[in-house]
Amino acid sequence: MIRANHLSFDQFSIDNSTFTFSFQLDGEPVEITLAHSLPIDLSTEAQQTVAFNLGMCYFHDLAELTLPHHLYINFGLSELQLEFWRRTYQEVSKEKLLVDGLDIEVLDGDWSSKSDQSEFAPFSLPADRTRTALCLTGGKESLVLLKKLRHQTDLLLFFLNPETSVHRQRVFERVKNDFPTTKTISDRPSILNAIKAKYQTDLESGLDMAHLVFNTLLYGNSCQHVVIGNEYSSNYPNTVYQGYVVNHQYVKTIYFARRLNEYLAQFVTPDFQYYSPVFGMYEYRIAQYLFEDEEYLEVWTSCNQSTNEVNFCCHCAKCAFTYLTALVYTNPEYLAKFFSRDLLTDVELYRPLMDFTGEKPLDCVGEKKEVWVALWQLSQTAEFADKPVIKYFLERVFPFIEAELMDFKTEISAVQKVPQQLPAELEVA
């Protein structure tokens, strides 16, 4: 890749529900626009505060792609604010260093701002709000939350740029007439793609959790909080690189949620928080909820390569993990509606998920103990006994973990204790 020398966040403007953010990257202007399909209900002053933070999310996206030597924000931030964004950038970008084989010192860019005084004041929100913003993607976590929470709280369904994602667009079309729904329209994907081409870079993990939080906060006069389906498995890292832990799913972790909520309370508003009712659940347990019935399964996907024709590409680690956990609660004949082939015939696809050695795939997948328990359960059924993946597991893995499998099953089936107290209306039984 080509590393940038200088990135700056220069200004932003608001025209009704459309935001324009202006940056400079190595002296060249970069402009990103963002619009909402529903009118925004915040005051002008509150919109300014939220817009600045949305601009910082885009600033982060550009920084992660180009790893600049110098990063400048043409607004006033306190030292604590600046440190939040700098530290987030460093945590998320470690995966890029791993993939590109770069030295960890690349992340020690020079960050500065116009002043060390916060330029945008925190604001208060009305006390009588009852609605919950729920972010939908088509993944099993978000669909489970839709099924569980629709009877417990008044929902506003939120979609981040669904037109740029086949699976998000499919879910949007499915629910848009059944619930109050809003979406963003942004040229962010095309702008970032142009940056990737110019700087000869590919990997971009993104800061979608922060994008989701600040976008839904624009409806803070009616929504009391935002819900995102992030699971317990995301808290486990992939590997260690040059002495630093790398977690592809860092922004989905409880740790980042706590930091983001603290930032919200101190610098934006104390009246809006981000929750995940499945923070204490492994994906193994969440899959059980998904297959309690067939509702919304026609739009279910966990694959980043899904198309209009297929929900799952059947060649990536996410597909392999999803197929396996789904088989525990359903059958191959039903899954054939979504998966074009029997993935339990592909040993090489599953080896990174179940072998003792090697890095956890840089993808949104669960833990090895979830894979092992699922394979163990399936191995006890004659229908699966001769599958190549099952046979490999029984020969190469099972003998070394047999005594622990019941404990693993108990753990991944239970709700783990997490440092987040849920409001009663967000509890998932």
- CA dist., res. 285 & res. 282, Å (int): 6
- CA dist., res. 287 & res. 240, Å (int): 29
Do residue 196 and residue 92 come from a single domain? Answer: yes
**Domain assignment of residue 386, yes or no:** yes
Do residue 320 and residue 401 come from a single domain? Answer: yes
Tally the residues of the chain: 429
Q: Tokens at residue 224, please? A: 């009391």
Strands (E), 199-289: 223-227, 239-241, 244-246, 273-275
Do residue 393 and residue 311 come from a single domain? Answer: yes
Phi/psi of residue 159, nearest 5 degrees: -125, 130
Do residue 267 and residue 312 come from a single domain? Answer: no
Rounded mean pLDDT for each run of 10 residues along the chain, 429 residues in total: 96 95 98 96 95 98 97 98 98 94 96 96 96 94 96 96 87 95 95 94 84 98 97 94 95 97 98 97 96 93 80 93 96 94 97 91 92 97 95 98 98 94 91
- What confidence score (pLDDT) does residue 426 get? 96
Do residue 309 and residue 259 come from a single domain? Answer: no
- Residue 378: partners with Cβ closer than 8 Å, 6 or more residues away: 324, 327, 328, 344, 384, 387, 390
Do residue 88 and residue 229 come from a single domain? Answer: yes
Domain boundary among 275, 296, 323: 275
- CA dist., res. 379 & res. 344, Å (int): 11
**Domain assignment of residue 64, yes or no:** yes
DSSP assignments along 80-136, one per residue: HHHHHHHHHHHHHHHHHHHHHT--GGGG--EEEEEESS--S------TT--EEEEE-
Domain boundary among 275, 290, 319: 275
Phi/psi of residue 24, nearest 5 degrees: -130, 130
Q: Which amino acid is at 358?
A: G
Print the domain residue range for 78: 6-117+182-275
**Domain assignment of residue 136, yes or no:** no
- What confidence score (pLDDT) does residue 409 get? 98
Average pLDDT score over the chain: 95
Distances (CA, A) of 377 to 133, 313, 328, 370: 37, 25, 7, 11
Do residue 364 and residue 259 come from a single domain? Answer: no
Q: Is 25 helix (H, G, I), strand (E, B) or coil?
A: strand
